[in-house]
Every structure is written in structure tokens, then in C-alpha cells.
Structure 1
């Protein structure tokens, strides 16, 4: 079969058919693949540059004769004990005689009865095959006119690797393992009620492996390929593509290489079943990662709060803490009214007054007539419009920023009351927050969604679709409790069910809540939506929300690096030896990971861990916290070449910005990464203990173990291996207490244990959770 195919916008000639690639069954892997009408083949590919010029396939025996050499394949297949749905594969390729120029070895899974409705996932790169309308060819493209004030606008994304939505076109996704949060390819078949996952390693001695998904023009055949090394025609950038610069190596007699991977084929009723299975197995091949204890949470709080203290300004527009690296103010998303929360937690009179001044400023200068807020303002006092089209007025603002504004407004008010400072809460603050909640309710009742961009003057949705309103239900749930308004909670529940059904269940993605992407799938909406689901559980106690939360946490895990990537030795991360499992990928457009969640502590993962007992949720947030610390600029651990305690948003395992960018930090600072670090230091306990069951989990950069456990007390050994003195928060509770939702300001009352750098101490924790030194 000869056809024209489009590879990332470029038409090239391609001749192949799955029938011609057939080979004899290979047990036991083909036994499980048969459930999906699939088979596994191995081949040697020869290239001219990045053009494939030949592919020769191993047949019945283990030998392959080419024009220039003789290859041998040693194949080992092992059923995974206790997992009949999983097979470990070790494929060792060796050229026993002769040579091979510009060649790569390949393992591919061929599915001959493919359905284009299958949900296809490559963690952090491809969601639902990225089969969506594409706009622009570059970073943060402008929206076309037809996307404005159009309730039927289709989900629209940037120019990313994707399977085509057009009929009669071959489409190919070419990635390397550095493009994925976990080196894996997955799909769910609704027709077969089956899921497929293949996990592989990051690299071999030849460099990063390649991940290829290619669908024929008839969309009834598809293959998933793993190659060593990656040889892509084009490398994906930030909403565009560039020449990959990949080269296949020359082989000489005796050269050999082993590809290892694990294959799962399992029963699955839905996309959520695939997601939860993925979270269960995502570390099974790579094994446990090894986070380092570098900076205690208390030290993180100290150094970042010191930065923020010095960034309060009074400019013509008003008084506020500087959000980023200029004097303009931006609400929510990455900055304003988020970095104030830790400053309020200091319980310091000066900072409290400054936080109050910022709240005054936000209410006075940014709230529109509808109740919605504008997204930003210049230092001179000029409102900053967002994603505007010249043909439309009035000024627009991000729904995401308004969602953040509501959530953090409520958290500020709750914290002030917990601290005993409720008397300073101004009626204007409460009125503004209530008006914002009411605006969301009106929008929901009118449109049954929150949209992506709104007009604060009129309250109209300017751009529909996406999961930009992911955090809205959380804000509404908190506001419902604070203002004793059941309608707020009812809308929060209805909206959560809607977004879960439309976006998570049916599409396996959430997206569109960032100001610098289109409606692309992204991590921020995934984590933000988990915040909302857990807020519903908090205020209702209904376990339906827990079930949704477990699926959503699995979606979050697809965005989080699951293993410790190998970075170039001479890169900044390589020189520091930083294990980066836990770094969180941004979006399918912005192809890099970041230190932490934008912008939150992720305490909802800890709350999910408490509610379910599933340690994978604790592991996930601990990984995120430790990766964040690896990016923090500290003496002897220079990352930003900036202020001590500063950090930036770029951890780059991919070559999206060029091969020279892999593993190198950007020498700047981003306040949101600093803010999420300090929020984790606040809202996550350093040590979590359930004495009755002897369950102990350590989130902080210390080591702890149970020495003695009696009915009314527990003695812990606590060691601080870092270079900094630590004040470790301890949360101890009974099994019964763990069944109750955790108060949003519970951290205020956690006892602290001081342990000096390098010191080991004994701590006695009594029934009430009070800690004392022995």
C-alpha cells in the first residue's frame, strides 16, 4: 500500500502495510496482544539522515541477513509474577558479522483492527491522540475570530504531535522518551473493553529511545514502536516543530544493544480505568526513585518568605507584593493573591497589614461590574486585557484567574479567623468574594459551563470550552461554607460532575486554564480539578467524590515524572546530580517540566492519601516536593544564579528548545515556583503518623522511624541529614480521626520539632499529637 502521509504538516511518501510486516506468534506476549488483535515484531531500520530507506524484520528464527551484515536477536519473555496481564520483554540485538550504516533497532506493536476512537496516551505529550482542531504554528497562537462568543467552538490546540482528525491521511507521532513524564505509550479500546500500556526505559548506550505511533490512512491499522535510538524527522517545540538533528549510528561486527520493556493488556471499562491502571504501574519498570534530602521544609519557608518580604511595593496602581519580575500586577494563576497567603501565615503584624493592603487593592481596582475580576493591571494603573481579538469588546479576563481569586480569597478569610484575626476582615472583602461566587453561579445557570475567557464588565463568556474552570468548584465550595449558601455548593457539585463527565471520562484530559496556551491538555487544570473534587468531599463527605478524585489523581500522575531521568553530564542538572522524579510537566504545548504544581501545595493529594490509605498519593506529592527542592537556588546548589531561595519554572528533559537546552536551568526566577515551594512547606506535614497501625510517612527532608509504640504515646527517632537546621511539623492522628476531612488551616496547629543539621534525636508523641524531645 502506497499513500501520502502528513508528518507534522509535511507531506512525504510512505509505502507499508501491516500485512507485509506479519511474523509468527511469539508467546507469551502475543497471547495477551491477541486480545487487541495485536502482534509484536522486531526489525532493523536504516536511515539516510532522518529518512527511513529500509526496514528489515526478524522472522521465524533469530537471524536476519541484510545486504551488509548478519544480525542476531535474543528474545526473552517473562510473565510478571502475580500479573497474568503483563509480560517483561528483553530483546538483545547483535550484529554478528559485517556492518550496518545509519541503523536503529525497533520493536513495534501492530494492531490490525484499529479504531480511531481509541483513546491514545503518551504521558505529558499526547492525550486522546491530540485529535483536535489545530490553530497557529508557534507559542501561544492568537485565537481566530470564530472562537469568540461561540458556544459550539471545538476544542482547539496548538501545533503539537497528533493523530489526524482528517480522513484518508496517514498520521504519525514521533517522540523521544525525554518528551514523556513516563516513557510509555498507552491506549484504551472502548470496543474491546481493553487497555494497553507499554513501559520502556529512557535510554540505551545510544541515547534516548524513540516512541512512535503511526496510523494508516484508513485508520484501521496502527503501530506503537520503540526504537533505539530515537530517529525523528522533526522534534516538537512549543507549538511548532524543528529538524530533530537525530542520527542513527553505524554498527560494526560485535556491536550489541538490549531493549527492555513491559507490556500490559488488561480489562478496562473506560478511560478512567486506563488512567488508574497507569498510575498503579508507572514505576514498575523503572523501580523506586531516590529523592534526596536537601532543604528542610522549614528552611524553604524561611528563604522564600525572605524573598517575598522584600518585594512589597507601592506604585501608582496601588500596594501589593510583586508577582513576577516586573512591577505590574497579575491576579491568580502564577502570582497575585497567592504569594500573600504564606505571608499571612507568618502571623506577623507588618505582613498582615501589607496583605490587607493588597486585598484592598484587588477589590478596589480589579473587580468589574459583573463581579468578575480583571486579570491584571500595570503599575501605572492600566487594566491588562487577555487573549483579545481586535473585533471584540469589552476587555476579557481568564476564567482561571477568577477561579484562583475566589479560592484564595476564601482561604485568606479562613486563615485570618483561625489565627484569631477575624476582626480585621473588611466587609468589602467579603462582599467582593461573594459577588465573584455569585457571578460564577449566574454563568453556570446561563451556560452550564464557565468558559475559558470572560468579560468582567458584562459577565459574558467570551471564549467557551476547555477546563479553564477547573478550580471554580473548589472556590464555590469554600464560599458555600463561609457564607452559608447552599446554592454555591449545589453549583459546585453540578459543575464538577459536568467537567468530570465531559473532560475526564470522555476525553481523558483537562486543559486550557493557562494564559500562555490554547485549549491544550495541561497539568494545571488536572491538579486544579483535583482540588475541586476534594473540596466537594470535604464539605459533603460523599464517597462519590473520592472515587472521582482517585481517577483525577491518576490523570495528575501522567503529568509527573515517575523516574529519575538521566541528563547530559555537562548540563546544570547533570552536574548537580539532581534526581528529578516529581517534576511536573506543563502542557502538551509547553514541553518542559517544572518544580511543583502551578500554583498550589498539592495538599489535596495528602488529603486523598488520608482518606484512602493509598500510599501512592503520598509518594506522588513527596516526589513533587523533593523535585521542587532540587530546583531551588541554595549555597553550593546553584540553579538560578539569582537570590538564595529563588527558583524558576524550567526543568527540561526534552529537546523542545534544542538539544543544548536539555538539563539546563534558565537563569531567572519565577515567583510561582517559589510560592508553591513555600505552600508545600506550610500545608504538608513534615511527618505523618498513625500510632495505632504504626503507619509513618515522612514528607520533609529528614529521616524518621518508630522506636517504641505504646497505647498513649509513640517514640520516634528523627535524623536531619541536611546542611540546615530544621523545624519539622508533625501530624499524628488516630484511624478514626483520619476518616474526617482535614481542615484547610489545620497546619496552623501542627506541633514543630527542632532538629539541627546532622543531628539525630528522639521524639515522644502523645495521644493528643503533642511532640516533646527525650
Structure 2
């Protein structure tokens, strides 16, 4: 049936080549002229369905269409954007003037002839490089087949997701809704034509969510990108599987109409990074500015989340630690084991410092294997938890990503203790463990030329190769190189970062395999994790090469992040709260939902990129992420998890991957990692950033601020707290000369804080003197 649907879908394209739909309208010809550079043309149609089976597709000839049951008209407008010949604003209105139309949808298709299957195809948060890879399983987190173990030539392997076919002589059909994507868009890059294509559309019409379809013929020499109102899919995609969509096309009566809006870009591009950077530049141009709400000051979030973490410290047979999950088992890295300790250490509280020290002792003494790699988890009883194990292969394996986290965060803890004046608390055992882990990574790189996805902690052997599971390793090695004064590790870090950037980002336009519950699927965690590494290399080397690569990586991160405030069902939990979710970060192409924040990090490297470049798009990106996180936090007047006050959970669901009833509904639980990244954002991202020379400020916290005046004595700003909670706002102010120097990992210790009570407006004067920000504060009556 899928083949039959594909055949009907492609009829319109074939008809175009035979001259059967010579649409003479000037606006359409203008758009076709733009599309000609990529061998494209436009097709407008009405489709009739029986359930989700396509019965017919009838094409508009000029602006009219006569069917057996009704008369349609179509108004098409396309206008170039002044000064930007590569983009056109497009709107199309479809109207049934008379008669009826049963179970029908309208669609706009972009048909591309001379198509090349090597074209890079992107649908944000859903399809990367066409998802044109080997797929396994038919379920969530499928077991790896035997050929994936101890096999250096294993192909990149994903879960059962929508994808373009890798098999020869096989047609492809990707059916999505705008609920499956972070930005309602479809894009591709043609290396042969040296062109990029982006079409942005709206989330929905009054008929419901729009459909996004990509159909490629068996010869792989033609392809169609179609946007329909509404979405009518045969199958809906789940978490590594498919199920019947239950979509339904509406019945039309005389006078019914619907409109679709687009922005279409056809532009010069010499590489996949060019497409990614263009996407980041334009991703909000159709939806416009989003509207982040100030509802929860970062200081209040930090207070509540650290209080939760205090109550989650356990002493069990395995050891003493803060629980990273809702049970008493321990997971290292990934979902916040030995990460939630960092904000607790930053409290500078003796009791919590002793607890953090106890956890570091536990990790170092109980989890490090003979090779230097750590095991990924341990039960409260003391039994090691194996990961992604095939019964045919031993010994126990562990995620490379967890070891990358372990190295980075172990160094960060020791850096923070030194910066706080507690360097004597650092134990030789911790430093020896960090050295052994860094040496293990260097050994693996020198031996295998990559870090793999899973390793065996006893032997140090790569158990599963490929993927970008080592995304954070260069950051950890760069930090270890500086801490222990080992130049070899910095060289390995740079060589590895160049390798992953070239193989995964430049050639494939994705990073993946970073999560413990997916295959080697593209994911947001590796995307942002690799940005951590690129900014670490910029910090430790000062070389602009890393900054340039970081800008591309941030653009890739933006593809995973809601660029707009999606509409959720009015009766859903998110809908009732009127939450604005721009900035929620999608998980992976398998786990089809967004989450409040980056797993697991503050994303301070995005702020550092903003500071280094002055490009406000990066400030907007991390600002969106922080505000979306606050929308998911459980508060007395803003219930989300129905759990502890200040708790949060990982599910912001716009798709129907878990069923249509799940759209807009939170899950009633709490996730330590989302609470941890909230604490880290409150800690490592300033509430207000001020550039003294440019006389500009950017607000990340949930307050309003504006510059009132500026003179030789400093800058006076007004600060208003309209939330229901008192705020303690950190302020980072600096000159252009200070901005040039990369920001240290413990810079937040030097940011002064301003107390602003709920409902209060204050004025304060900022005057950097001798590198220290001085603040004068008084209440405005």
C-alpha cells in the first residue's frame, strides 16, 4: 500500500514533465524561477482519501480545479524579499467554491528532478542526512545484532525511524507532521549543484497540524517535498517503530477554505555546514519572535532544585551518593550521576562539600576498571550494571559517553575546589583516577583512531565502534591536559575533534549515538556535547579554528531546539498552562519528544560562543532553552510533574509518537537530569550580561532590565522582577578587551548578585574597576 501511495504521490511530478499542468500565473512562475536553480518546480493539488489510503490527487490548472463533486479555486501569492533574491514569501489559499469534497486535504509540493541520493536531507529533530542508514529492530532501544560487536567497519546503524532507502531500486516515503519537528521546515543541500533549499511553514491551520512528506522514486532521480493541510499519514512514527496514524482528512462543504504560508530559500552553499548556518539564521523568520515568559527566577530554581538534591543523598551498601534517578541505583554521567554534585559543591556548604567528597570517593573506588575506563552504573547492593550487552560477548561494556562525562566532571570538580580555596581537599586518588581515564582515552585513540560507542572497562577494548559517542572526550582531554600539564592529551583532543567534525558534521550533517537508550541515531546530546568540546579547545588554545567549528555545531544544535512557541491542545496540561516552549530540546530521532534543557549540561558553552562572537543568535538560543526549562518546573501555581515543588521531568510532547492523547501532557514523575541542568543553568549562565563598551545588555534571568544612562562613572540599569518569587540575579559586566579572553569554567564565582524582591523595581550602577564589578543598588519608589 505504501508503494501505491508513493506512486500516486509522484503522479503530479510526472505530469509536470509532460506539460499537463502549465500554470501561467505570474507568482507561481516567479517561484518556479527560483526553484529552477535546483531543478525544482511547484505542484498544487487536492487529495482525496479513504481513511488514510490515497484515492486520487487532482492538480490545479492555473487557479481553478474542477472535480466530480465540486469546484475549487486557489489564490497564490509569492513575493521576493527586498534585498534578498534567494528568498520568497509565499501564501496559498484553497477554497471549495461549490459542491462537496469528502475526506480531502490540500497540498503544496516542491518536485525536484535530476535528484541525487547523495543530497543531504534535513527535517529538524527528525531526519538527518535522510536517515539513510541501516536500521534495526522494531521497538524502543533495540538490541544490537552480533555483527555490531568488535567490528571496526560496522556501518552507522539507527533504530526503525522514518528514512530514505539505502537499498537500490527502492522507493522511499517519509510521512511526518509538524508535531514531529523542532522547526516546521524541510531542507536539503546539493553538493553537485552547490545549492541549498529550505522551506519554512506554519505548524498548523484550522484543520490541524500540517503534514510534511518526502517521497523519492525507486530510481532515486526524483524527489518531492510536500506540505499538506492537514497531515494524513498511513503510519505514524513511534519510539523506534510505527503504528497506524489514525489521521483523518476532513469533509469540505461549499465555502470552506484554508491557507498555507511559507518562506522558500534557494541559496548558494558549498557544504553541509553552509546549510546549517543558513538554517540557524532563518529558522524564526516565518514564525517571528517567540515570547519567553518570566515565571521563575534562576535563583529560586537553584534553591528548590538543590533542596531536592539534598534530600536524595543515600548511604547504601554500594557507597554514598546523591541519587541520579528515582531509585537508589547509581548511573555515572549521562543522567546526572557525578554531575548533580557540582552545583551542590558550588553551594560552599560544609555538609554538602563532605557529601560531594564522599561521592567522588565512591566513584573512584568502586567504578574504575583495570583499563582506566569506568563502569557506567552500580546497583545499591553493589552489583555492576552492564550496558548494551549481547549475551554472545563479554566482558561487561559501558557507554563511552559516560566516561567522557566522568573525565570532564571530575576535572571540573577539582577546578572548583581550587577556585573556592579548598584545593587541599582534592585527594591523590581522584587525580590518579583522572590520569588513568585520560590515558585510557589517549591509548584508544592512538590504537583505533576513534573512541567508539561502547568499551570494556577491564580490557579497554572498543566493543562497539562508530557514532559520535566520544563527543565530549576532547573537552575532557583538553581540561586534563591543562590540569596535569600533559601536552600529548591536548594533541589527542585536537586530532579527535577534527576527526569527528570532518566525518560526522561536515560529511554527514549529524552527530549521534550519545544516549544510553538509542542505537547510533542522531541525537541532540552529542550535538551539544561536541559543542562543549569545541569551545573547550578554543579556551585552551585560543585558536579561531575551534570557534568557527563551534558556530557550525551551534547551528546543528539549533535544529534540535524548538525555534517557536508551538500550539498544544487547549485541554492538554501544557495547553492549560499556556506554556511557551520555544527552547525545549528534542532528544533523538528515535525518542520523539522534546525535553527541558540539554542532557546533561547548562549549555554555558553556547553563552561563551555568544560572548566570543557577539552574535545574539547564540544568546537567544541559550535564553530560549533556559526559559523553556522553567515552563516544565513543578510550582504551586504551575503544576507539571505533580511531584516535589521544584522538580521537573523530561517529556515535552508535541508528537503523537506515544498516541494522540499524549500530545501536550507531562508525565507524572521527576528526572534528576532535568533538575540538574536547571541548577547548572542557574549557576553557569549569568542572569544579566552587560557589555560596557557597546552599552548593551542581554537578560537570561526571569527579570526585565534596561539601560537608563551611561557616563564615565558607569552604566545605570533598571531591573524589574514581575515574578511571584524574590530573585537574586547574577550580573556579569565586562569591556570589549575583557570579552576577548575566553571565559574560565569557574568564572561564575566572581559574578556579583543583586537581590530584587517580587514586584520590585530597582536601579543599579555598574562600574568595572580593576576587573571587579561594583554595584550600587537602591529601591525605586
**Bin of the TM-score, shorter chain as denominator length:** over 0.9
Work out whether residues 8 and 56 of structure 2, in 8 Å CA contact, stay in contact via their aligned partners in 1.
Answer: no
Q: Deviations over 1:62-114 (max 9, x none)?
A: 11000000000011111112211001111010011101000000000000110
Shift of 1:772: 2.0
* 1:58-457 map, 5 Å: 58-59=60-61, 61-457=62-458
Q: Tell me, what secondary structure is at the counterpart of 2:3?
A: strand
Structure 2, unaligned runs of 5 or more: none
Alpha-carbon distance between aligned partners in 2 of 1:52 and 1:522, rounded to the nearest angstrom = 33
Aligned match of 1:43: 45
Shift of 1:150: 0.2
Aligned match of 1:759: 760
Alpha-carbon distance between aligned partners in 2 of 1:402 and 1:689, rounded to the nearest angstrom = 36
Q: Tell me, what secondary structure is at the counterpart of 2:77?
A: strand
Work out whether residues 79 and 88 of structure 2, in 8 Å CA contact, stay in contact via their aligned partners in 1.
Answer: yes
Aligned match of 2:487: 486
Alpha-carbon distance between aligned partners in 2 of 1:487 and 1:583, rounded to the nearest angstrom = 38
Q: Tell me, what secondary structure is at the counterpart of 2:279?
A: helix
Alpha-carbon distance between aligned partners in 2 of 1:27 and 1:36, rounded to the nearest angstrom = 15
Q: Deviations over 1:452-505 (max 9, x none)?
A: 000000000000000000000000011111001101100000000000000000
Q: Tell me, what secondary structure is at the counterpart of 2:602?
A: coil
Alpha-carbon distance between aligned partners in 1 of 2:511 and 2:9, rounded to the nearest angstrom = 34
- Taking structure 1 as reference, are residues 141 and 135 closer, same or farther at Cα in structure 2, changes over 3 Å only? same
Aligned match of 2:30: 28
Shift of 1:273: 0.2
Work out whether residues 119 and 127 of structure 1, in 8 Å CA contact, stay in contact via their aligned partners in 2.
Answer: yes
Alpha-carbon distance between aligned partners in 1 of 2:220 and 2:713, rounded to the nearest angstrom = 65
When the two structures are aligned, how many residues end up with a matched partner?
Answer: 768
Alpha-carbon distance between aligned partners in 1 of 2:195 and 2:356, rounded to the nearest angstrom = 52
Aligned match of 2:463: 462
Q: Does 1:773 align with 2:773?
A: no
Shift of 1:757: 0.3
Q: Does 1:670 align with 2:668?
A: no
Shift of 1:17: 6.3
Alpha-carbon distance between aligned partners in 2 of 1:17 and 1:732, rounded to the nearest angstrom = 59
Work out whether residues 149 and 464 of structure 1, in 8 Å CA contact, stay in contact via their aligned partners in 2.
Answer: yes
- Taking structure 1 as reference, are residues 367 and 101 closer, same or farther at Cα in structure 2, changes over 3 Å only? same
Normalised to the residue count of structure 2, the TM-score between the two structures is 0.97
Q: Tell me, what secondary structure is at the counterpart of 2:471?
A: coil
Shift of 1:315: 0.2
Shift of 1:766: 1.1
Aligned match of 2:14: 19
Normalised to the residue count of structure 1, the TM-score between the two structures is 0.98
Alpha-carbon distance between aligned partners in 2 of 1:712 and 1:540, rounded to the nearest angstrom = 35
Work out whether residues 12 and 59 of structure 2, in 8 Å CA contact, stay in contact via their aligned partners in 1.
Answer: no
Work out whether residues 9 and 215 of structure 2, in 8 Å CA contact, stay in contact via their aligned partners in 1.
Answer: no
Which range is displaced more, 582-591 or 384-393? 384-393
Alpha-carbon distance between aligned partners in 2 of 1:771 and 1:310, rounded to the nearest angstrom = 35
Alpha-carbon distance between aligned partners in 1 of 2:54 and 2:709, rounded to the nearest angstrom = 64
Alpha-carbon distance between aligned partners in 2 of 1:744 and 1:491, rounded to the nearest angstrom = 21
Equivalent in 55, 66, 72 of residue 53 of structure 1: 55
Alpha-carbon distance between aligned partners in 2 of 1:392 and 1:14, rounded to the nearest angstrom = 46
Alpha-carbon distance between aligned partners in 2 of 1:113 and 1:97, rounded to the nearest angstrom = 39
Aligned match of 2:563: 562
Alpha-carbon distance between aligned partners in 1 of 2:78 and 2:7, rounded to the nearest angstrom = 36
Alpha-carbon distance between aligned partners in 2 of 1:771 and 1:213, rounded to the nearest angstrom = 56
Aligned match of 1:718: 719
Q: Deviations over 1:550-573 (max 9, x none)?
A: 000000000000000000000000
Alpha-carbon distance between aligned partners in 2 of 1:24 and 1:685, rounded to the nearest angstrom = 58
Aligned match of 1:5: 3
Shift of 1:4: 7.7
Structure 1, unaligned runs of 5 or more: none
Q: Tell me, what secondary structure is at the counterpart of 1:212?
A: strand
Shift of 1:170: 1.1
Q: Tell me, what secondary structure is at the counterpart of 2:198?
A: strand
Alpha-carbon distance between aligned partners in 2 of 1:164 and 1:102, rounded to the nearest angstrom = 30
* 1:570-649 map, 5 Å: 570-649=571-650
